[in-house]
Amino acid sequence: MTHLNHLKYGQRHGRKLLLTTSLLLAGVSLPQPGMAQKASAEVAYFAVQSGPLTTALQRLQREAGVNIVYEATDLKETRVEATEFRGAKVGDILRQLLRNQPLRFEEKQGVIILQATTPMVPAAPAKPGRRAAREVRGKVTDAEGKALPGVTVVVKGTSVGTATNAGGEFMLQAPEGAETLVFSFVGYVAQEVPLRESAVLDVVLAQDSKLLNDVVVIGYGSVKKGEVTSSITNVDPREFNRGVVATPDQILQGKVAGLNITRSGDPNATPSVVLRGASTLRTGQAQEPFYVIDGVPAASINLVAPDDIVSIDVLKDASATAIYGARAANGVIIITTRKQKPNAAVSYSGYVGVEQVSNTIDMLSGDELRGYLEANGKSLSPADNDEGTNTDWQKEVQRTGLSHNHTVSYGGGSEKSAFNASINYFKREGVMKTSDSERLIGKISLDQKTLQDRLRLSFTLTNSRLRQNLLSGVVYRNMLIHLPTANIRNPDGT
């Protein structure tokens, strides 16, 4: 009758666990509802008759009020002899019933679990001077004793590894000659543990306080990384791209997962910035993320000189960008600029760079075109055929573009007040002749603390002037369709 109750319980409560337990219902004895006793519970009297072990276990569940779970296949053909117990604990009764049986039990959260024990197979003797492969088990916890799931465990110097399960436990086969295991987990200091004679390791990982204490900027202030669950990426100046950088977007290129930045050789073209993937409903600037500069939402990215930036935070998911509402549908990029320290100082930074076309289109020369037309019985009009002329129009309209950037800043102050002034000059020549861009940015900022440092006042004034020499798209078309037999110069050599 007890066994039928088990099946009914499985039918009544097994629907919610269909995906994970449907294959086990036929072979696992499930606990009855209401049982809460443990292995330490005492039974006044319990008698066992000779017969199958499963019968004795079902009776023990009923009379002692304990939960016992086991695989039916593990108990197949197992029998017990008749015996009696008076004033015995459930654990002692189980040990007596399982004596000389290939079974063991353990208690987890008030449930007694029976498992088959693996018979020990003697290992083959290792060759002199070599250690045979062996099984290493263990558990990984944090400083508070909590299990850490997902910790990577690797044999140092090899590709042999595994990861801890939900209980922080792991098992792997250490190859011959293995001496050290490496444990690593995000937010914790990696640890190397030497392999000793013991095959069981208990490892405690310490939190990486430097990583978790890094400060990131979010929409409503600054917090530690360890306190944030949103998808936020912080990029500091050490990770910025160097070289010809015209806008703050370009210093992030290739630094943030999911952030795609594309720019052309045109110095006047605005780079394409896509953070949350391309959209079929929005194109161009409508796909760009929302910018926040020094706490000012919707500020123009063109007002910031790349050399003035000290930190960039990229907010990706909905929870991180929620404070900005619908404006943050494409993600948010928060830019923090330089703040002057109390000591007065003058600084300068600059660079010079060149840009060239890496690949050109393979076109016919003038001689090749004339030879082709002659072989096919055709000819050019006199106006398009200057004998001996071989004009490479791509070479004639393209050039090596020179770019240079200069930033001078001065600042100073005290613990209560500070000021900073900077000026940035940037000029970039395009790879097409006559195309260039010239920009001048000036910035003045003042910070003042008052009311016993309870109130901070900040004032920032920024101005930008931009001059552009635009190039019509017709030039690119004419560069490819003009005949190489036409002379680029007039008869007088101009």
Predicted pLDDT at 17: 32
Lowest-confidence range among 195-199, 237-241, 298-302?
195-199
- Mean per-residue pLDDT over the chain, rounded: 76
24-to-18, 208, 370 alpha-carbon distances in Å: 10, 42, 83
**pLDDT grade, residue 210 (50/70/90)?**
low
What is the C-alpha separation between 273 and 312, in angstroms, rounded? 15
Please say if the pLDDT value at position 418 is more than 80. Answer: yes
Helices 53-64 and 90-97 pack at an angle, to 10 degrees, of: 180
Specify the DSSP element, H or E, that contains 20.
helix 18-21
**pLDDT grade, residue 440 (50/70/90)?**
very high
Q: Give, in words, the CATH class of 134-204.
A: mainly beta
Q: Under CATH, which architecture does the 230-337 domain have?
A: Beta Complex (2.170)
Chain centre distance of CA 390: 54
Amino acid letter for position 355: E
Q: Give, in words, the CATH class of 2-116.
A: alpha beta
Predicted pLDDT at 424: 92
pLDDT tens for each residue of 58-96: 888 888 888 887 777 777 778 888 888 888 888 888 888
- What average pLDDT does this structure show over 92-108? 81
Query: What are the residues whose beta carbons fall under 8 Å from the beta carbon of 448, sequence distance 6 or more?
Result: 416, 417, 456, 457, 458
Edge-first strand order for the sheet with 200-204 is: 169-174, 134-141, 200-204
**pLDDT grade, residue 130 (50/70/90)?**
very low
- Six token digits for residue 419: 């000021």
pLDDT tens for each residue of 358-395: 888 889 888 888 888 888 888 877 766 767 788 889 99
- What average pLDDT does this structure show over 30-51? 67
**pLDDT grade, residue 277 (50/70/90)?**
low
Of residues 191 and 262, the one with the higher pLDDT is: 191
- What average pLDDT does this structure show over 200-206? 87
CA dihedral (239, 240, 241, 246) in degrees, to 10, reads 180
Ranges of each domain in the chain: 2-116, 134-204, 230-337, 345-481
Predicted pLDDT at 74: 77
What is the C-alpha separation between 465 and 442, in angstroms, rounded? 9
Task: Look at the block and give the residue holding tokens 């010079």.
Answer: 352
Amino acid letter for position 298: A
Closest alpha carbon to 162 in 153, 149, 150: 153
Q: What's the whole-model pTM score?
A: 0.48
Two domains, one topology: 134-204 and 230-337: no
269-to-259, 337, 469 alpha-carbon distances in Å: 19, 24, 11
Lowest-confidence range among 284-298, 343-357, 399-413?
284-298
Of residues 229 and 18, the one with the higher pLDDT is: 229
pLDDT tens for each residue of 233-250: 778 777 787 766 777 777
Predicted pLDDT at 72: 75
